[in-house]
Amino acid sequence: MENKLQNKIANKQKSKPNSMLFKSPPHIIGRYVIVGTKETEGPFKEYFKHSIIEKEFIKLTYEKAECKILEEAIFNAIHNSNLTLSDIDVLLSGDLLNQITSSSFAARKFDTSFVGLYGACSTMAESLAIGACLIDGGYFKRVACSTSSHFATAERQYRAPLELGTPRTPSSQWTVTATACSVLSNSGNGPIITSATFGKVTDFGISDANNMGAAMAPAALTTLVAHFLNTHTKPEDYDLIMTGDLGKLGSDIFVDLMEQEGYKLGQNYTDGGHIMFSINQKTNQGGSGCGCGASLLNSYVLDKIENGTYKKVLFIATGALLNSLTSQQGETIPCIAHSLVIEKGD
């Protein structure tokens, strides 16, 4: 059946972006999340079991701290998979920092092949999608997929150092401090990744680096509509559809855009950025950052899949592909979204 659908996708009239169906869907056999203090005070505190121990980081720069928690998340995800470091064939990772230094520097600690990715906040979906291809294609047996973001490193790189006390605009989102790693394997009994869609770069002319939800919503739309068409599914076929991280404003725009395309998103739709923090945490439009969707996926969502609450989840991670120089040079913000379907395995 899978193969028949795969041919159908290959032969049909082009409706880009294209989707991939996995013949031998890889299993998520282990995972680990580390979040910051603020994140443990929000609605998901019971799902975030590991947070930064601040005294360990007192002598580090923010960048070194981000790298260290990423290392720890990767190490512990491998450990939780009942594997040793030498069992991992490839590590796929990316983050928000210039030249993805959190990932590259963390990779020094792991004696394995490394593939560096950049998809801004869409990185968790990008790494899981490529990881799934590398396993399903028969090239490797076990792949670790990770990402990270950190409020202080992201603010000083993209906008202004926190020490300046720059006021935050109403449309802004709060970069989540979180690292997450999932370990994929060609065998096991964890949740499985059954399909994925690499999104296309979409630019709707928004140039405000403090309104990224609005910039990213059209990219999420493009990917999700393509995904539904390519896989012949509709919103009701999923127990949960989670975008990340459009925030409150961005996800409202996204729901409206989807409705214009004829897809009514119901109670099964949510956005990682929107739900990450409670209203009294004063994050304006909610969370953002690679770690936002990644930490929710690797805790709350996969917990619910493993315990049977959710059977089929569609995760669409969105990324704004700007840098501080392009903003200064008056450029608009190109965005992307990659999607994944995760189902309860056998």
Nearer to a second copy, 84 or 307 (CB): 84
CA nearest to 227, candidates 197, 256, 257: 197
Give CA separation, 252 vs 19, 217, 256, 289, in Å.
Answer: 25, 9, 6, 19
Cα–Cα–Cα angle for 276, 117, 5, rounded to 5 degrees = 85
Residue 189 lies near a second copy (rule: CB under 8 A): no
Q: Which of 334, 339, 340, 342 binds a second copy (CB under 8 A)?
A: 334
How many residues make contact with a second copy (CB under 8 A)?
A: 62
Cβ-based neighbours of 298, under 8 Å, separated by 6 or more: 31, 32, 33, 180, 181, 182
Structure tokens belonging to residue 297? 């996926």
Contact 193, 88 (CB under 8 A): no
Q: Which of 4, 14, 55, 282 binds a second copy (CB under 8 A)?
A: 14
Residue 160 lies near a second copy (rule: CB under 8 A): no
Q: Which residues pair with 314 in a beta bridge?
A: 241, 341
Residue 207 lies near a second copy (rule: CB under 8 A): no
Residue 98 lies near a second copy (rule: CB under 8 A): yes
Coil, strand or helix at 142: strand
Q: Which 298-327 residues touch a second copy, going by CB under 8 A? A: 321-326
Q: Which 103-122 residues touch a second copy, going by CB under 8 A? A: 104-105, 107-108, 110-120
Residue 97 lies near a second copy (rule: CB under 8 A): yes
Residue 192 lies near a second copy (rule: CB under 8 A): no
Contact 78, 183 (CB under 8 A): yes
The site for a second copy (CB under 8 A) is made up of 6, 10, 14, 16-18, 20, 61, 63-64, 86, 89-90, 94, 96-101, 104-105, 107-108, 110-120, 126, 130, 133-134, 136-141, 197-203, 321-326, 329, 331, 334, 336
